[in-house]
Chain A
């Protein structure tokens, strides 16, 4: 677990370093995610089986990741609480904010969902993906 957290923080640090070196317009943690994905793929970490580790360092990473992701929502709370500062603005511009937020959210969701479903059906009709029954 502790080793797993160290791996996650290490990937984030390398991500931050790469972002600074290359002036990539992406946040360090997203680059860290790509790096960790590559690392897990290269080591052929058994995906389903974090407990019985033949590769102790990688299985610890999986466990640490599972713990953090279980509580992913928690880490957004401090940013969301910032709403207290803007209650006045939100009241004054309630209509444009509410409609733009909901409308734009809905448009983004549907465009991506429909585009993938439409193009994916054509591209991979032989592959049987899991779907909602």
Chain B
């Protein structure tokens, strides 16, 4: 019996389930003609969570096996230089606005997340957990640890913020009459990091490139401003 147990919690099965869930997500996206809710990351998370619950596998065991997947987040972040390289001509005229907007956006994200948690009766630890959630996962996790949040929960809320952007970001931006592709991309990357960038890349190459750039700048701005903002609060 225990040899079966071993197989059920093996990295092989963890990878397989994650990949199958993700591919199911890709198929759903294509079948629904790119419906915003059919984000592969969301489908993959739901499928994997169901599997772990039914098969009674600990998250720690899963995370260990799935490290082969999360590892590629690093090289993929480096790869965001490529769409930016292709779009470099479009940078003209937007560098100044971007350098104002991104730090401003980082401060607004931090203050509103922290403030809303406290306002609605959440504890300080929870407020600190949500404060860095606009930065991409590796950064938000490290920052959460640094300021006294719960890093693993920060990872989850960061992913949820990303999914929110992938699902609703373009629609909200259209409703808000933000039409410039560059402004749209910068907004997506600033609030929904890599997951929003993935949706933006799917929408339009310019949006994707600026979203990737914004994700990097937001990571930097959040790292620098979070301690300062929390000290002022």
Contact = CB atoms under 8 A, between A and B. Distances in A.
A132 interface: yes
B209 to A, nearest CB: 10
Nearest to B41: A73
Given A34-B216, A76-B162, A105-B161, A116 B18 contact: no
A66 B172 CA distance: 27
Chain A at the B interface: SS class? helix
A74 B72 CA distance: 9
Interface residues of B, number: 119
Contacts of A45: 85
A129 B156 CA distance: 36
Contacts of A106: 172, 191
Contacts, number: 350
Nearest to B18: A77
Interface of B: 18-19, 21-22, 25, 39-41, 44-45, 48-49, 52-53, 59, 62-63, 66-67, 69-70, 72-86, 88, 90, 92-94, 96-98, 100-102, 104-106, 108-109, 112-117, 119-122, 126-127, 130, 133-134, 136-139, 142, 152-153, 155-166, 169, 172-174, 176, 178-184, 186-188, 190-192, 194-195, 197-198, 201, 204, 206, 208, 212, 214, 216, 219-220, 223-224
